[in-house]
Amino acid sequence: MTYNINNKGYYGEFGGAYIPEMLYPNVEELRQNYLKVMAEPEFQEEFHALLKDYVGRPSPLYFAKRLSAKYNTKIYLKREDLNHTGAHKINNTIGQILMAKRLGKNRIIAETGAGQHGVATATVCALMGLECIVYMGEIDIARQAPNVARMKMLGATVVPALSGSRTLKDATNEAIRDWINNPVDTHYIIGSVVGPHPYPDMVARFQAIVSEEIQWQLQEKEGTSKPDYVVACVGGGSNAAGAFYHFLDDTDVKLIAVEAAGKGVHSGESAATSILGKEGIIHGSKTLLMQTPDGQITEPYSISAGLDYPGVGPMHAHLYKSGRAEFVAITDDDAMTAGLELCKMEGIIPAIESSHALAVFEHKKFKPEDIVVVSLSGRGDKDLETYIQHFGL
Amino acid sequence: MNRINKKLQEDNKLLSIYFTAGYPKLNDTAKIIENLEKNGVDMIEIGLPFSDPLADGPTIQASSTKALKNGMTTEVLFDQLKDVRKTVSIPLIIMGYFNPMLQYGVEAFCKKCAEVGIDGLIIPDLPVDVYNEHYKSIFEKHGIINVFLITPQTSEERIRFIDSISKGFIYMVSSASVTGSSSGFGDVQTDYFKRIHQMELNNPQVIGFGISDHKSFSQATQYAKGAIIGSAFVKHLTTEGTDTIDRFINKIVKP
Ligand SMILES: Cc1ncc(COP(=O)(O)O)c(C=O)c1O
């Protein structure tokens, strides 16, 4: 029994590649090559050298002393917020840009919601001198101006997605359409463990560096490589996939996936995909997604722009359905409160996405001897405006 | 015999028209179908609108968004089609994305199609292998033909495979592109049309995407059994409404 992907590209019943024939050559080329390329020693060497010298890995595993005292359990924070560009997203874009180069692609496209993945993609394109086009919903462009400016400074072209609801899902549609229109020279750097196989698996493998480090860092600090719990927020699911990866099949380690409940799971303004979603197809993957009874994809809501995706990666759909991971839904208010608490108690301003994971401690009681590792997926600089407005600072 | 197969045996070059159901107005569906047949169209693709049509350009996206806003659903479409076979005899195909069909239930969807007289389905995001493994027997049980796409990038081996499991025609996507680009056909396209023509496939081919006028229609049907017009017709509906469909069709078929 494994909770990882099978050789047909599925996690249990979820995954696969539900793509139009126009995309088949691109996706098939990637499918046939990604494991081979990733297994090359030179690839691994280059990947790890960049993670070390450019991203700043390993990211610290920090024992949060005051937070631990308050909640009477052992809380470790995996500090992905300290990475270059401020989140875990860059682990994936470094991996994929190297993959794109190996496949001879010289034009890079990406989708972005809040702009974090767009910035991480623009960054690696600047690093490699490759053309970069980022699709972003028209509405998101308006509300995430600083990240739009960052992408432009890094040399990327930001193209507004004008279709549908003009947010992340539509930006993803536009990126996919671009790939259909440019089937030969272009690589699509998808930003999470979503999309058609092999994307969810490839992105999870690039993010797996997070749990690989947790294992040896915890060994050094606690004399065991196994935490009792790993907690991570889930938008598409990439930081969670990375933090869970090496523990997937070790059921001694309990996994907690935190979704955004928005204004309440049943308020009609929520992004709690696993609870509200039904099995279906989104962006080429069979997974859980929020939709009407008629199968039209609906627009999610969360105060955190990185969590309002109407689907969830197929790995997480399987973790939910099989019960391997516990899924918790945290409201806007509870997340914001937990974020501010981390500022005051540990001197760390977290991304609002990550604040959702931190809110687990008000939601669930842990034992004093439990080791709980929380994926602190990003830093809060991008969210200052939202924090200021929320708390009237 | 399925109406699609019968139609393909006819001598002439085939004109097939796509439109989005529920557009421009919710209840235009039956009227548009009848009008198209009256004006000599050989086959119709009825678009079941989807919120996230990945393979479509701006024109069909916009018509889908509008149709959904108008209140189009799978149930409503079947209801609009329930008497269509009293007046219409040409082949009717539903073109739509897989998720709405999955939610309706693939078996229920096929059964309903057979009941109202739909002859085939085109589902761009249902991959050939998944169809083969999970849904083929359901389609066949209800006599519904599933039409597969090929593109200029599809390998010869894969084209042969798709040909081997196709039962009606092969939908040849004219160029590497989503629907609605109409820059005309150059050497790249005609070389591709010739290449496929020379493969002497078992199934006839019908070319779609990027056909918008008499010239591109003629170019396509020089090498293929027929051609499909989508975005250009939807654009016509947008600007001219449903009253002048005859004018649009005449301009396509007559030089
Ligand atoms: C800091 C941070 N955490 C989490 C996410 C959510 O994405 P994922 O679920 O793929 O980790 C984002 C997305 O933008 C993010 O910026």
* Closest chain B CA to residue A16: B130
Residue A1 scores a pLDDT above 80: no
Burial class (CB in 10 A: 0-12, 13-18, 19+), A269: middle
**Residue (of A213, A391, A233, A237) closest to A314 by Cα position:** A237
Say whether A280 and B103 touch across the interface (CB within 8 A). Answer: yes
pLDDT value of residue B80: 98
Residue B183 scores a pLDDT above 80: no
Ligand 1 pocket check for A351: Cβ under 6 Å: yes
Cβ-nearest to B65 among A24, A164, A279? A164
CATH number for the domain including A229? 3.40.50.1100
Residues A342 and A257 in one domain: yes
Q: What is the pLDDT of residues B134-157, one digit of tens each?
A: 999 999 999 999 999 999 999 999
Q: Does B78 touch chain A (CB under 8 A)?
A: no
Domain assignment present for A158: yes
Domain assignment present for A31: yes
Residues A43 and A61 in one domain: no
Q: What is the pLDDT of residues A318-361, one digit of tens each?
A: 999 999 999 999 999 999 999 999 999 999 999 999 999 999 99
Residues A36 and A137 in one domain: yes
Domain assignment present for A6: no
Ligand 1 pocket check for A233: Cβ under 6 Å: yes
Give the number of domains in chain A: 2
Q: How far apart, in whole angstroms, are the C-alpha atoms of residue B129 and residue B133?
A: 6
Domain assignment present for A1: no
Domain assignment present for A4: no
Would residue A362 show up in a list of annotated catalytic residues for this protein?
no
> Which ligand 1 atom sits closest to the C-alpha of A114?
14
Domain boundary among A203, A230, A257: A203
pLDDT value of residue A39: 98
Please compute the mean of the pLDDT values over residues A128-136 and round it to a whole number: 98
Task: Report chain A's mean pLDDT, rounded to a whole number.
Answer: 97
Ligand 1 pocket check for A239: Cβ under 6 Å: yes
If you measure from the C-alpha of residue A91 to the centroid of ligand 1, how many angstroms do you get, rounded to a whole number? 12
The helix or strand, by DSSP H or E, that contains position A202, with its residue range, turns out to be helix A199-207
Residues A334 and A199 in one domain: no
CA distance A366 to chain B (A): 40
Q: What is the pLDDT of residues A51-95, one digit of tens each?
A: 999 999 999 999 999 999 999 999 999 999 999 999 999 999 999
CA distance B146 to chain A (A): 14
Q: What is the pLDDT of residues B195-205, one digit of tens each?
A: 999 999 999 99
Q: What is the pLDDT of residues A94-108, one digit of tens each?
A: 999 999 999 999 999
Please compute the mean of the pLDDT values over residues B176-200 and round it to a whole number: 90
Kindly report the number of other CB atoms within 10 A of residue A347's CB atom.
8
Please compute the mean of the pLDDT values over residues B94-105 and round it to a whole number: 98
Residues A198 and A299 in one domain: no
> Which ligand 1 atom sits closest to the C-alpha of A354?
3
Kindly report the number of other CB atoms within 10 A of residue A71's CB atom.
19
Would residue A89 show up in a list of annotated catalytic residues for this protein?
yes
Q: Which of A14, A21, A135, A299 to mutate to test the interface with B (most CBs of B within 10 A)?
A: A21
Residues A252 and A382 in one domain: yes
A346 — phi, psi (to 5°)?
Answer: -125, -5
Domain assignment present for A263: yes
Residues A281 and A378 in one domain: yes
pLDDT value of residue A114: 86
* Closest chain A CA to residue B162: A21
Residue B182 scores a pLDDT above 80: no
Domain assignment present for A3: no
- Name the percent of chain B lying above pLDDT 90: 93
CA distance B130 to chain A (A): 8
Q: Which residues of A106-122 are buried (b: 16+ CB within 10 A; e: fewer)?
A: ebbbbbbbbbbbbbbbb
Q: Which of A59, A74, A78, A89 is catalytic?
A: A89
Q: A146 near A305, Cβ under 8 Å?
A: no
pLDDT value of residue A164: 80
Q: What tokens does A130 get? A: 């490759």
User: What pairing do the DSSP bridges indicate for beta strands A229-233 and A107-112?
Assistant: unpaired
Instruction: Note the Cα A164 to chain centre separation in Å.
Output: 23
**Residue (of A384, A350, A304, A283) closest to A27 by Cα position:** A283
pLDDT value of residue B180: 86
Inter-chain CB pairs, A–B, below 8 Å: 117
Helices (H) and strands (E) in chain B, counts: 13, 8
Please compute the mean of the pLDDT values over residues A18-29 and round it to a whole number: 95
| Residue A291 DSSP class | B
Domain boundary among A170, A187, A203: A203
Which domain range does residue A83 map to?
56-87+208-391
pLDDT grade for B222, boundaries at 50, 70 and 90: very high
pLDDT grade for A167, boundaries at 50, 70 and 90: confident
pLDDT value of residue B11: 87
Q: What tokens does A57 get? A: 């890995």
pLDDT value of residue A177: 96
Q: What is the pLDDT of residues B46-74, one digit of tens each?
A: 999 999 999 999 999 999 999 999 999 99
Residues A122 and A167 in one domain: yes
Say whether B57 and A182 touch across the interface (CB within 8 A). Answer: no
CA distance A20 to chain B (A): 4
- Out of A127-136, A157-166, A282-291, A327-336, pick the least confident: A157-166
3-state secondary structure A113-130: CCCHHHHHHHHHHHHHCC
pLDDT grade for B127, boundaries at 50, 70 and 90: very high
Please compute the mean of the pLDDT values over residues B173-183 and round it to a whole number: 85
- Name the percent of chain B lying above pLDDT 70: 100
Residues A250 and A307 in one domain: yes
Task: Report chain B's mean pLDDT, rounded to a whole number.
Answer: 96
Residues A250 and A271 in one domain: yes
Domain assignment present for A235: yes
Cβ-nearest to A16 among B74, B130, B149? B130
Residue nearest to atom 15 of ligand 1 (CA): A306
- Out of A112-116, A190-194, B107-111, B157-161, pick the least confident: A112-116
Residue count of chain A: 393
Q: What tokens does B236 get? A: 């016509």
Say whether B154 and A20 touch across the interface (CB within 8 A). Answer: no
- Contacts (Cβ under 8 Å, ≥6 apart) of B181: A181, B57, B175, B209, B210
pLDDT grade for A154, boundaries at 50, 70 and 90: very high
**ipTM of the complex in this document:** 0.95
Say whether B125 and A281 touch across the interface (CB within 8 A). Answer: yes
Own/partner contacts of A360-364, CB < 8 Å, gap of 24 or more, are A360/A231, A360/A256, A360/A258, A360/A328, A360/A330, A361/A67, A361/A70, A361/A71, A361/A73, A361/A75, A362/A334, A362/A337, A362/A338, A363/A328, A363/A330, A363/A334, A364/A256, A364/A328
Using DSSP's 3-state secondary structure scheme, residue A297 falls into: strand
pLDDT value of residue A295: 98
pLDDT value of residue B1: 80
Residues A216 and A145 in one domain: no
Domain boundary among A178, A203, A228: A203
Q: Which of A14, A177, A291, A292 to mutate to test the interface with B (most CBs of B within 10 A)?
A: A177
Q: What tokens does B252 get? A: 């396509």
Question: What does B3-59 look like in DSSP terms, one character per residue?
Answer: HHHHHHHSSSPEEEEEEETT-SSGGGHHHHHHHHHHTT--EEEEEE--S--TT--HH
Residues A219 and A125 in one domain: no
The helix or strand, by DSSP H or E, that contains position B218, with its residue range, turns out to be helix B214-223
> A-chain residues within 8 Å CB-CB of B22?
none
